[in-house]
């Protein structure tokens, strides 16, 4: 992909950014917890989420699709699939299905692409094994393909050593069929789509005075989902950064989830000096509204808190940091090392190619802001690296190698990018 430097500002309203991937995955999966049809509008039609729909179908549901409108009809007891369950590039799908399938009678094999097979699964498999789940895989159960033999699970009281929405969600899904009330605690609140959606469907999840989420096993099927999936704030953030780094430019992004655990990156951009406004319009399962971002001179910033709330946006934030006045530092972000690529290494190595000075740390990096230059970028097959440096290309021009990965989360990214010029 070759991105040309912009020659004029842009002031646009964008209403066709990809639907939220996290919510789309969960809509497909959670529909299996009901015995009535779920109706989902604006479902993300990207490779990752279509793979999740295919898995749901393999598990026995009937699926009708009309573009982004999806109806999922469960057909009684979940069935043992005749083939492997392909999660593609999605760590979310693989980790959540680990929890979901661990309590279902049958044998299940979760596979993915070569990038997903390189990612660690021990962090979710180990706590599930501790409550009776039978999960095995390569490298002593740490890497996919993963083999799951579903069965009875024990209720648990678990304090997670990692703040991960994927681990939390897997444990909550397992707890829904455990033999008693389970308790889960994290030190820092992570994305809470799972809790919001399950409670909206009728599951009993409460938080006690000690900060544990208490999950009561299901005694009957949940209510079906009736939901319009909002715009993905992580995908939208690329164009927020584009406006923030392009003089005299602005963007209004329509119908975004304004869940506080998902808009932290926008708050950081605001701290850096960009003009950022949130306009809430409704609240069904999730608060939803528009986000406005306008250019202003950016200044360096320190990012060390609520890291799990902006972990996916850090590559794009690194572009804003590189063009800000002064130094910026990211800490406590070692989770970046185990994403689709080692995103700390991917970010700093590509920034180096663009002439940006930096210091790399085990848990983050420090960037000396000021300028970026055109370069040839290696995405390492990571969609967020590819899209982040495409946005940088609006400032200085850029050539990005291996951009097919963008299709996993944001199929029309290039169309929107081209519309800005």
CATH number at residue 120: 3.65.10.10
Spatial CA neighbour of 416 closest among 243, 276, 266: 243
Residue 140 burial (CB count, 10 A):
9
Answer yes or no: do 405 and 297 share one domain: yes
> Which residue, 165, 184, 219, sits at the end of a domain?
219
Please, what is the average pLDDT of the chain?
Answer: 96
Instruction: Tell whether 26 is in a known binding site.
Output: yes
Answer yes or no: do 54 and 82 share one domain: yes
- Position 409 scores a pLDDT of 84
- DSSP strand E in 260-391: where? 275-284, 286-294, 302-303, 327-330, 357-361, 364-368, 376-378
Peptide bond into 145 cis (omega under 30): yes
Alpha carbon 296 to its chain's center: 28
Instruction: Tell whether 58 is in a known binding site.
Output: no
- The catalytic residue among 192, 290, 312, 378 is 312
Answer yes or no: do 125 and 170 share one domain: yes
- Position 408 scores a pLDDT of 85
Among this protein's residues, is 113 annotated catalytic?
no
The boundaries of the domain holding residue 50 are 21-219
Instruction: Tell whether 373 is in a known binding site.
Output: no
Instruction: Tell whether 99 is in a known binding site.
Output: no
Pairing of strands 134-137, 143-150: antiparallel
Confirm whether 225 is domain-assigned: no
CA distances 358 to 180, 230, 246, Å, are 51, 36, 22
Q: Model's pTM, two decimal places?
A: 0.90
State how many domains the chain has.
2
Instruction: Tell whether 384 is in a known binding site.
Output: yes
Query: What residue ranges of the chain have pLDDT lower than 70?
Result: none
| Each residue's pLDDT tens digit, 67-114 | 999 999 998 889 999 999 999 999 999 999 999 999 999 999 999 999
> Which residue, 199, 219, 239, sits at the end of a domain?
219
């Amino acid at each position: 992909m070759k991105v040309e430097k912009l020659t004029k500002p842009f002031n646009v309203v964008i209403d066709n950014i990809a639907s939220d991937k996290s919510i789309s995955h969960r809509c497909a999966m959670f529909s299996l917890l009901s015995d009535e049809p779920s109706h989902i509008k604006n479902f993300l039609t990207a490779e990752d989420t279509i793979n999740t729909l295919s898995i749901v179908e393999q598990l026995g549901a009937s699926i009708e699709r009309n573009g982004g409108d999806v109806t999922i009809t469960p057909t009684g007891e979940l069935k043992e699939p005749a083939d492997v369950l392909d999660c593609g590039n999605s760590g979310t799908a693989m980790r959540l299905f680990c929890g979901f399938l661990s309590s279902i009678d049958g044998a299940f094999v979760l596979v993915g692409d070569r990038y997903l097979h390189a990612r660690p699964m021990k962090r979710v498999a180990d706590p599930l094994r501790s409550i009776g789940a039978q999960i095995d895989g390569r490298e002593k159960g740490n890497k996919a393909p993963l083999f799951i033999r579903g069965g009875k699970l024990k209720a648990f009281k678990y304090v997670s050593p990692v703040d991960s929405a994927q681990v939390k969600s897997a444990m909550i899904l397992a707890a829904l069929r455990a033999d008693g009330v389970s308790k889960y605690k994290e030190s820092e609140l992570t994305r809470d789509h799972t809790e919001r959606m399950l409670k909206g469907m009728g599951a009993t999840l409460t938080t006690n005075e000690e900060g544990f989420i208490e999950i009561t096993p299901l005694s009957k099927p949940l209510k079906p989902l009736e939901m319009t999936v909002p715009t993905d704030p992580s995908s939208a953030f690329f164009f927020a950064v584009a406006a923030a780094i392009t003089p005299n430019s602005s963007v209004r992004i329509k119908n975004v989830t304004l869940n506080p655990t998902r808009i932290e990156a926008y708050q950081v951009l605001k701290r850096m000096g960009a003009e950022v406004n949130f306009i809430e319009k409704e609240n069904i399962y999730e608060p939803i509204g528009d986000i406005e971002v306008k250019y202003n001179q950016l200044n360096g910033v320190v990012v060390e808190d609520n890291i799990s709330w902006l972990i996916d946006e850090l590559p794009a934030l690194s572009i804003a940091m590189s063009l800000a006045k002064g130094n910026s530092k990211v800490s406590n972000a070692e989770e970046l090392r185990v994403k689709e690529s080692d995103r700390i290494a991917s970010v700093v190595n590509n920034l180096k190619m663009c002439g940006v000075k930096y210091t790399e740390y085990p848990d983050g990096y420090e960037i000396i802001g000021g300028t970026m230059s055109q370069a040839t970028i290696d995405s390492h097959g990571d969609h967020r690296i590819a899209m982040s440096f495409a946005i940088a290309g609006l400032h200085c021009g850029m050539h990005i190698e291996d951009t097919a990965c963008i299709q996993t989360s944001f199929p029309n990214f290039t169309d929107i990018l081209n519309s800005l010029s």
